[in-house]
A and B are shown apart, each in its own frame.
Chain A
Amino acid sequence: MTTKLFGEPVRRREDARLIVGKGRYLDDIGHNALAAAFVRSPHAHARVVDIDVEGALDVEGLVAIYTYDDLTGPMAEPLPVLIPHPQLTAPRTGYSLAYEKVHHVGEPIVMVVATDRYIAEDAAERIVVTYEELPAVVGVDAAHEARHAVHDDVPDNVSARHHQETGDVEPALAASPHTLTFTQYIERSASMPMEGRGVHAHWDADDRSLRVYTATQASTSVRAAIAAKLELSLDKVEVIAPDVGGGFGVKIMHPWPEELLVPMAAMNLGADVKWSEDRREHFISSAHERQQKQEITVGFDDDGRLTALDVVVWHDNGAYTPYGIIIPIITATQLIGPYDIPVYRVRVDSVYTNTVIVTPYRGAGRPQACYAMERTMDRIADVLGLDRAVVRERNLIQSSQFPYDAHLTFQDGRPVVYDSGDYPGLMAKLKDLVGWSGAEELRDDATARGKLLGVGMAMYVEGTGPGPYEGGHVQVLGSGKVLVATGLTSQGQGHETSFAQIVASELGVPIEDVEVTTGDTRRFPYAVGTFASRAAVMSGNAIALAARGVREKALRIAADVLEASPDDLEIEDGVVQVKGVPGTSIPLRTVAVLSNPLRYAFDEAAKQATQFTSHDDSKPPVAPGDAPGLEHRDYYSPLRSTFASGAHAAVVEIDPATWEIDVVKYAVVHDCGNVVNPMIVEGQVHGGVAQGVGGALYERMAYDSDGQLQNASFMDFLMPYASEVPDVVIDHQQTPSPLNPLGIKGAGEAGVIPGTAAIASAIEDAVGRRITSMPISPTELYDLMRNPAAERTAASAGRAENGVLA
């Protein structure tokens, strides 16, 4: 394998396009399309009594108005339960347009189509919907109490009870020298991509075919959903993800109502129709994640070694469960992190609330899992008066234990078996990187400046690259250009660069010759999607295998021409040559021409492949089992997920006057196996850390008790600016995955996972009060400090005895 580009920090090739405004996002497509706008429920829970469109009719430019009554066939059925699971006993999904009831603010009820978006909005505004309000259920506690039901036929509000256990936890707890029981909360946040969702549909009435552009993370699956719902043959539907301005999970959810309704309108009207989500719509009608209540009981010995862990989680799944119980499963299985826990039991009750649906947001249940486990470690350390790093170290899975079978079943239905890793190595690097042993000096220095300083850490193991499969297609053209396609989509991850690096390395061609296409069902119709840090693992390996297939064929053809053995050939810079014999060579582009026997020559190069040039009369032009063209398609389908890992540490400084929390240092040690492009991986880590900081300190969905989202704008929903994101110092560790040809593990979500846990730990260390609910704002911290009932940590009590502040 030529390795000169694999592992190199190649600059992102797509950035030249994306950062100068030449990206082609959904809203850049179809300026003449009709525009759709939606009437959405202003109530969290209500019966739709009447829809009066009279007032909209005066709006010049109005084209169409659709309600549930206009939906026929499969469109009139509920939206699909995408990921069924036996423990999802009461799945409920909404309709593309509300049928009889609405279950959250923002649920679409009417679609208006007009000559432009302004007119569509004007018309939508004049449509009067009459509601009979019903009681709203907001938050996990209200759902748990079940005084009201979100869905009449699910009186306990429980959609699923997911449980897994690795042994008999109760006797193990009873036999433990120490036990601790505590409850903690984590709030809702959301993906908040810069570009919201959006759909453009073009219906060719003569061909009866549909082309849909959608800002999705799963174009092949959206295609299948559209075909099924609109009763079209799959070959008559093509779906393309254009440049997509961020996904972070919200766009893996599909089919969104709009992804079905916009194509339906285009078919009904025989005209192009487009809808681009606005920010308020994104807040109230896309998806959120993260809210959980966690009840944790842990048993441990005098040294802080865990003996048993028992966790009950109440997971807020919002109004519907289209994405099944993937997040509960991930929380349940990833909770154990890098630790060897003798007996583990977990139950996650997934509950309905009258709020926006909950589907994966970068991290997808892992930040909550990490928060549960790592805060448990902090508490054990506090009870025993041990260093938090020491307690963790004593519980780490050792390198000799791989492959480590956790005896759990992961989100892909396959066993949780850690394939490789070096967790003590992570911890050692982290302590060095953050200066863990010097924390007390840092604290003293801050104290002298009138600030409260704390350090915190958190470790994680992240299952990445789940199946079932991805594919790749590599084709060398007669021009020498190398076309690469994979069905999986891109939302800014740098796939055009990293996949090109893989092909350039595998095939021995200049990266400039490689063109990568993702998320276009015309180019590659079989794919799963971009989620769970799987693009590099899945498509990366599939593309590598496809490139190897092309290489093998190229060498076979070139061997004939050069009268050499394929084993003696190599490909360098797009030229096939006999090893050690300079000059005995043939350009790869010529091999591509020769791979396709021709009758007709259309240019000089093609003449070489025509029938009156020299050939072997004893064989047909295309040998049995062979195919014309220098191309290969291959798939990668893993036995199970590969497990990346990492450790983060945060240093916070708190101003005891304002209780402003400043993350002054953030250290990351990261292990995602072999790295295709370290610059891209670092970018992923930086972005993840920023989202982790946001999740820990700023972002929340402020629902009131009526289910109204009170901060549904960027005026009120706080996201960290560059000024709030600390400088991130990164150290890499590479333990290759034995599961895939390239030895890589996923890196997309890692950065966000430990943020909440590490920062909570650091704040607690700084202020000496137990932090049991995240995110935490300066106001909440102020209230906590003034609350005489707030629990003091043992560590802070010890410091107070020594005359230290706090």
Chain B
Amino acid sequence: MNLDGSAVLHASPDRVWEVITDPAVLARTIPGCESLEQTGQDEYRMNVTVGVGAIRGTYAGEVRLSDQQRPKSYVMHASGAGGPGNVRATVTINLEADGDATALTYSADAVVGGPVAGVGQRMISGVAKRMAGQFFTAIDDELTGAVVPIASAPSAAAVSDASLAAAGAPAAPAVRTFAGKAGVPAGTSGDVQTLALGAVGGALLTLIGVLVGYRLGRRG
């Protein structure tokens, strides 16, 4: 499945980069995110709970960033699995200044497997697109100060490096866990509840911040 898309974010590429690679921000902007763990340099593990109807579940995923050319481009490798299925994706992200804003474009190559793969490409990508939209709106809100971050600091018990700097990677990374909105019971949004199928595709591809809209290539 080839997916391409773009988004306009209201900040400079540097600022976008800073936010979009900040695990604390990601944890609270990814729809349905229960927790986000940093497991190494540019490596994360996360749990997302989404789904209604016939297929609902918790999905565990891993994400790794590579080929970083701050603030212009990077490549994300994502994989994840849950009851309804699994997904693996490689995504190239480009940031380009556009006046005061940043044009983000991405190109993804994703493989979706398991029962969720049987629900139809437009279904999966429709959910992913929806979640990507929510994600980028949330990111943009972060950038423009429309929301005040809450409950996004690493939980005390899990943080071993209290001197976390937003843009700096710790020299000897230890496991740090960030609570997502979905991890706060009261914060479970109705919107997330409606996102049933394609949750693996949606959540994980959203995690890597790539799905805004795309043209679906014909399956070879």
The yes or no verdict on A and B being binding partners is yes
* Residue-wise interface mask of A (267-301) relative to B, using a CB-CB cutoff of 8 A (1 in contact, 0 not): 11111000000000000000000000000000000
User: Are B122 and A60 in contact (CB-based, < 8 A)?
Assistant: no
A66 within 8 A of B: yes
Query: Which residues of B are found within 8 Å of A64, using beta-carbon distances?
Result: 118-120, 123, 197
Stretch among B15-23, B40-48, B124-132, B203-211 lining the A interface: B124-132
Contact between chains at B119 and A57 (CB < 8 Å):
no
Instruction: Specify which chain B residues have a CB less than 8 angstroms from the CB of A62 in the assembled complex.
Output: 53, 123, 196-197
Please report the C-alpha to C-alpha distance between residue A65 and residue B116 in the assembled complex, in whole angstroms.
11
Cα A58 to Cα B195 in complex, Å, equals 7
Q: How many A-B residue pairs have CB under 8 A?
A: 70
Report yes or no: B120 in contact with A66, Cβ–Cβ below 8 A.
yes
Residues of B within 8 A of A60 (CB): 52-53, 194, 196
Complex formed: what's the CA distance from A115 to B55 in Å?
A: 11
Does A53 touch B at the CB level, under 8 Å? yes
Residues in A with CB closer than 8 Å to B194 are 57-58, 60
Q: Is B54's CB under 8 angstroms from A56's CB?
A: no
Residues of B within 8 A of A265 (CB): 118
Q: Which residues of A contact B53 (CB under 8 A)?
A: 60-63, 115
Stretch at the interface among A67-75, A634-642, A751-759: A67-75
In whole angstroms, what is the CA distance A680 to B89 when docked? 65
- Cβ of A152 < 8 Å from any Cβ of B? no
Contact of A115 among B54, B121, B219 (CB under 8 A): B54
Residues of chain A within 8 A of B218, CB atoms compared: 69
A58 vs B54: C-alpha distance when bound (angstroms) = 14
Determine if B115 and A72 form an interchain contact, defined as CB atoms under 8 angstroms apart: no
Q: Are B129 and A54 in contact (CB under 8 A)?
A: yes
Q: Which chain B positions have C-beta within 8 A of A34?
A: 54
- Looking at the assembled complex, report how far the CB atom of A383 sits from the nearest CB atom of chain B, in whole angstroms: 63
Q: Are B119 and A269 in contact (CB under 8 A)?
A: yes
Determine which of B55, B121, B130 lies in contact with A67 in the assembled complex, contact meaning CB atoms within 8 Å.
B121
Cβ-defined contact, B216 with A57, below 8 A: no
- Specify the chain B residue showing the minimal Cβ separation from A55: B126
CA–CA, A61 to B196, complex, Å?
A: 9
Name the prevailing secondary structure of the A interface residues.
Answer: mixed
In the complex formed, the residue of B with least CB distance to A64 is: B119
Q: Which residue of B lies closest to A119 (CB)?
A: B53
**Interface residue A51 (Cβ < 8 Å from any Cβ of B):** yes
Residue with the highest number of chain B CB atoms closer than 10 Å, among A69, A72, A271: A69
Partner pick for B126 among A57, A66, A70, CB 8 A cutoff? A57
Once the chains are docked, how many angstroms separate the CA of A270 from the CA of B117? 11
What residues on B are CB-neighbors of A57 within 8 Å?
123, 126-127, 130, 194-195
**Contacting pair A69 B119 (CB below 8 A):** no
Find out whether the CB atom of A63 lies under 8 angstroms from the CB atom of B121. Answer: no
Q: Across the two chains, which residue of chain B brings its CB closest to A205? A: B115
Q: How far is the CB of A231 from chain B (nearest CB, A)?
A: 15
Q: A58-B194, A60-B194, A115-B54 are in contact. Are A53 and B126 (CB under 8 A)?
A: yes
Q: Which residues of B contact A269 (CB under 8 A)?
A: 54, 115, 118-119
**B119:A271 contact, CB within 8 angstroms:** no
Neighbouring A residues of B129 by C-beta, 8 Å: 54
Contact call B118/A270, Cβ cutoff below 8 A = yes
Knowing A60-B53, A115-B53, say if A65 contacts B120 (CB, 8 Å): yes
Nearest A residue (CB) for B191: A58
B: residues with CB less than 8 A from A are 52-55, 115, 117-123, 126-127, 129-130, 194-197, 216, 218-219
Contacts of A65 in B (CB 8 A): 119-120, 122-123, 126
Across the two chains, which residue of chain B brings its CB closest to A110?
Answer: B122
Task: Give Cα distance in the complex from A57 to B50, angstroms.
Answer: 13
Known contacts A63-B53, A69-B219: does B122 contact A53 (CB below 8 Å)? yes
Chain B residue with the shortest CB-CB distance to A72:
B219
A63 lies within 8 A of B122 (CB) = no
In the bound complex, CA of A34 to CA of B119 (Å): 12
Please list 28 pairs of residues, one from A and one from B, whose beta carbons are closer than 8 Å in the complex, sorted by A's number. A53-B123, A54-B129, A54-B130, A57-B123, A57-B126, A57-B130, A57-B194, A60-B53, A60-B194, A60-B196, A62-B53, A62-B196, A62-B197, A63-B53, A63-B54, A63-B119, A65-B120, A65-B122, A65-B126, A66-B122, A67-B122, A69-B122, A69-B219, A70-B121, A115-B53, A265-B118, A269-B54, A270-B115
With A60-B194, A70-B120 known, 18 other A-B pairs at CB within 8 A are A53-B126, A60-B53, A60-B196, A62-B53, A63-B53, A63-B54, A65-B120, A67-B121, A69-B121, A69-B216, A69-B218, A70-B121, A72-B219, A110-B122, A115-B53, A115-B54, A268-B119, A269-B115
- Which residue in chain B gives the minimum CB-CB distance to A270? B115
B52 CB, min distance to chain A CBs, angstroms: 6
Question: Given the complex, which residues of A lie within 8 Å of B130, measured CB to CB?
Answer: 54, 57
Q: Which residue of B lies closest to A111 (CB)?
A: B120
Chain A residues 703-742 with CB under 8 Å of chain B are none
Question: With the chains together, A802 CA to B110 CA distance in Å?
Answer: 88
* B128 CB, nearest partner CB in chain A, Å: 10
What residue of chain B has the Cβ atom nearest to residue A268's Cβ?
B118
Shortest A770–chain B CB gap in Å is: 56
Distance (whole angstroms) from the CB of B178 to the closest CB of chain A = 27
Give the shortest distance, in Å, between A567 (CB) and chain B (any CB): 64
A205 to chain B minimum Cβ distance, whole angstroms, is 10
**In angstroms, how far is the closest chain A Cβ from the Cβ of B66?**
30
Chain B residues near A69 (CB-CB < 8 A): 121-122, 216, 218-219
- Across-interface contacts of A270 in B (CB, < 8 A): 115, 118
Residue from B54, B117, B129, B194 having most chain A Cβ neighbours under 10 A? B54
The 3 A-B residue pairs whose C-beta atoms are closest, nearest first, are: A268-B118, A64-B119, A65-B123
In the complex, which residue of chain B has the Cβ closest to the Cβ of A271?
Answer: B54
Across-interface contacts of A51 in B (CB, < 8 A): 122
Q: How far is the CA of A334 from the CA of B216 in the complex (A)?
A: 52
B197 touches A63 (CB 8 A): yes
Contacts of B196 in A (CB 8 A): 60, 62
**Chain B residues near A66 (CB-CB < 8 A):** 120, 122
Q: Write the nearest CB–CB distance from A60 to chain B, whole angstroms.
A: 6
Q: Is the CB of A54 within 8 A of B126?
A: yes
User: For A271, what are the chain B residues with a Cβ–Cβ distance below 8 Å?
Assistant: 54
In the bound complex, how far is the Cα of B196 from the Cα of A66, in angstroms? 16
Separation in Å of the A61 CB from the closest CB of chain B? 5
Minimum C-beta distance from B33 to chain A (A): 19
Q: Which residues of B contact A63 (CB under 8 A)?
A: 53-55, 119, 197
Question: CB-CB < 8 A to B118: which residues of A?
Answer: 64, 265, 267-270
Q: Nearest CB to that of A66 among chain B residues?
A: B120
Contacting residues, chain B, for A115 (C-beta < 8 A): 53-54
Determine the distance from Cα of A271 to Cα of B197 in the docked complex, in whole angstroms.
15
Bound Cα distance A621, B115 (Å): 53
How many angstroms between the C-alpha atoms of A63 and B115 in the bound complex?
A: 11
Question: What's the Cα separation between A60 and B55 when bound, in Å?
Answer: 11
- Name which residue of chain A comes closest to B55, CB basis: A63
CA distance A63 to B53 in the complex (A): 7
Complex CA gap A62/B219 in Å reads 23
A residues within 8 A CB of B117?
268
User: Which A677-702 residues have a C-beta within 8 angstroms of B?
Assistant: none
Of chain A, the residue at the smallest CB distance from B1 is: A69
A59 and chain B: residue at smallest CB distance? B194
A95 CB to nearest chain B CB (Å): 13
B residues in contact with A72, CB < 8 Å: 219
Report A311-356 residues with CB < 8 Å from chain B CB. none
Residues of chain B contacted by A58 (CB below 8 angstroms):
194
Question: Looking across the interface, which residue of chain A has its beta carbon closest to that of B115?
Answer: A270
Chain B contacts of A113 at CB under 8 A?
119
Min CB distance B145 to A, Å, is 29
Least CB separation from B129: chain A residue: A54
**Proximity bits, A555-579, B CB within 8 Å = 1, else 0:** 0000000000000000000000000
CA distance A58 to B126 in the complex (A): 11
Which A residues are in CB contact (< 8 Å) with B115?
A: 269-270
Query: Which chain A residue lies CB-closest to B215?
Result: A50
- Chain B residues lying within 8 Å of A67, measured Cβ to Cβ, are 120-122
Q: Taking the nearest CB of chain B, how far is it from the CB of A276, in angstroms?
A: 20
Distance A51 CA – B53 CA, assembled complex (angstroms): 23
Chain A: CB-nearest residue to B196:
A62
Nearest Cβ distance between residue A82 and chain B, in whole angstroms? 27
